[in-house]
Structure 1
Amino acid sequence: MNQAQILVIGRHPEILRTVVRLVNSNTEWNATGCISDEEAVALFNAQEFALVLLGGGIDEASEKALGNYFKSIRPNVKIIQHYGGGSGLLSAEIYEALKS
């Protein structure tokens, strides 16, 4: 069974580590986390991600620029925002995005 590859972008290292750990607790998913826009673009170019999860702390300009870039490379990639709310909400958001 192939795992869904998920790129997690966040600005707060501790929160990013927690989100990546929570996502990776599901055996169907494999999350890779990054802090900067440059790192996110490099990872996106190097790997086939099914989903991009934008965490808190990303300013509107970066959010828009990243979303536009990702969609220009892979129009079908799913991009969702997660600003907190616990692991149950996070899982539900990911499941919903991946099935749509």
Structure 2
Amino acid sequence: MEKIQILVVGRHPEILATVVRLVNNNPDWNATGCLSDEEAIAAFGTQDFRVVLLGGGVNEISEAALNSHFFSINPDIKIVQHFGGGSGLLSAEIYEALK
């Protein structure tokens, strides 16, 4: 079975690395982390992402621009705001988005 691709966008390198590691702890998921809007937009075109996680530090202007871009390419993409809370909450958010 092919892994579910998850794009993680955040502004804090250490937090982004932690979230990517936590997502990748699930053998069915593969996370790609991006620190900037430009990096996220470029990455989105390279893989078939099913979920986008927007982390802390992504401001409203960036969020609106990213949402608009992602939905224009894939209207079925699931976008989740993730502000922390541990690996249990993170997993629950992803599972909910995948339903």
Alignment TM class, shorter chain as reference: over 0.9
Structure-2-length-normalised TM-score: 0.98
Relative to the length of structure 1, the TM-score reads 0.97
What residue in structure 2 maps to residue 64 of structure 1? 64
Deviations 1:45-64 (A, max 9, x none): 11110110000000000001
DSSP-derived class of the 1:46 partner: coil
1:93 aligns with 2:93: yes
CA positional deviation for 1:7: 0.3
Cα deviation, residue 2, structure 1: 1.4
Q: Residue 76 of structure 1 aligns with which residue?
A: 76
Task: List runs of 5+ in structure 2 lacking aligned partners.
Answer: none
Residue 92 (structure 1) shift: 0.2
Partner of 2:39: 39
| Structure 2 counterpart of 1:85, one-letter code | G
Paired residue total: 99
Query: What do the CA deviations read for 1:32-74 (whole angstroms, capped 9, x no partner)?
Result: 0010000000000111101100000000000011001100111
AA matched with 1:52? V
The corresponding residue for 1:20 is 20
2-side partners of 1:58 and 1:2: how far apart? 29
Gap runs ≥5 in structure 1: none
